[in-house]
Amino acid sequence: MNKVALLTGASRGLGKVIAGFLAAQQYDLILTARGEADLKATALELGAFGGEVAILAGDVSDGAQQQALAKMVAQRGRLDLLVNNASILGLSPQPELAVYPLQTLETVFAVNVLAPLGLVQMLLPWLEQAQGLVINISSDAAVGGYPGWGGYGASKAALDLLSLTLANELRATGVAVVSVDPGDMRTQMHQAAFPGEDISDRPLPEVTLPFWAWLLAQDSLLISGQRFHAQAEVWNIKV
């Protein structure tokens, strides 16, 4: 039986790259994203690897969407990998925190923090059964304190702490949790963060492929609780 992975934000950019890597490794995939057309195109492309690719378009912060994804996992009876990649930037250009609309910030936290936690809570029985791995996608904005990045950065800092705490709480169950800063990349979200600017000097998301190959070859419990940078030259395991 193939391993099963669920990826959010999987229709393009980094999510699609990770999904393609997993498809090539013969994972069966459950993919979700807001854009149905892009999601269908991605599924068609990745189906060529021979594994099963199931899709469900929708907002991952919606409880009904999370329940539907959990039902899809239950139908397959296992979950080896959960990649919480979906996130939103918020307003663009991003305002300073002193004038950041709190209603918008609530939406950013709903997608970037509460949705990943909600999926972990719903999918935990299958993750425990498979002694699976949760990968939460973070950002350098979580630690940089960059002016104008406070809303998005605060959500990613919260996700980092959530990841570490879950790793400590779930270790006894065999479930591992890590957070990954993928680095600057040439994606639609990154372009939205710099409206009108030329970001052609940023690498494409494929630059992270060596990291994913390395990460998924590790003993997950040995790396659980760690925060990685996918564009670093050396990846060390703390034993």
- The pTM for the full model equals 0.93
* pLDDT recorded at residue 205: 86
Q: How confident is the model at residue 192 (pLDDT cuts 50, 70, 90)?
A: low
Beta strands at 81-84 and 4-8: parallel, antiparallel or unpaired:
parallel
Task: Yes or no: say if 130 and 73 are a contact pair by the CB < 8 Å rule.
Answer: no
Mean of the pLDDT values across residues 16-30? Answer: 97
Residues 6+ apart with CB under 8 A from 110: 61
Confidence of residue 188 (pLDDT cuts 50, 70, 90): low
Note if the bond before 205 is cis, omega within 30 degrees. Answer: no
Q: Please give the domain boundaries of the chain with CATH numbers for all domains.
A: 4-229 (3.40.50.720)
pLDDT tens-digit series, residues 136-154: 999 999 998 889 889 999 9
Backbone phi, psi, residue 166, to 5°:
-60, -40
State the pLDDT at residue 239.
Answer: 44
The token pair that represents 176 in the structure block: 């591992």
pLDDT of residue 204: 83
Task: Give the tens place of pLDDT for each residue, 217-231.
Answer: 999 999 999 999 998
- 152 included as an active-site residue: yes
- pLDDT tens-digit map of 31-72: 999 999 999 999 999 999 999 999 999 999 999 999 999 999
Q: Would you state the pLDDT for residue 19?
A: 97
30 vs 91 pLDDT, higher one: 30
Collapsing DSSP to helix, strand or coil, 90 comes out as: coil
Instruction: Determine the pLDDT at residue 148.
Output: 86
Residue 236: pLDDT above 80? no
- Local structure of residue 113 (DSSP, 8 states): I
What is the residue-wise DSSP string for 25-67?
Answer: TT-EEEEEES-HHHHHHHHHHHGGGSS-EEEEES-TTSHHHHH
pLDDT band with cut points at 50, 70 and 90 for residue 195: low
What's the pLDDT at 2? 93
Distance separating alpha carbons of residues 97 and 215, to the nearest angstrom: 35
CA distance readout (Å), 59 to 67, 72, 123, 190: 12, 16, 17, 20
Average model confidence (pLDDT) across the chain: 92
Q: Above 60 in pLDDT, residue 128?
A: yes
pLDDT at residue number 130: 98
H-only helix segments in the chain: 13-24, 36-46, 63-76, 102-109, 115-130, 141-144, 150-170, 188-193, 209-215, 220-223
CA quadruple 152, 153, 158, 164: dihedral sign = positive
In this model, does residue 194 exceed pLDDT 70?
A: no
Binned at pLDDT 50, 70 and 90, residue 189 comes out as low
Express each pLDDT in 74-98 by its tens digit. Answer: 999 999 999 999 999 998 888 999 9
| Catalytic-labelled residue, pool 27, 100, 146, 152 | 152
pLDDT at 131 over 80: yes
Q: Is 227 helix (H, G, I), strand (E, B) or coil?
A: strand
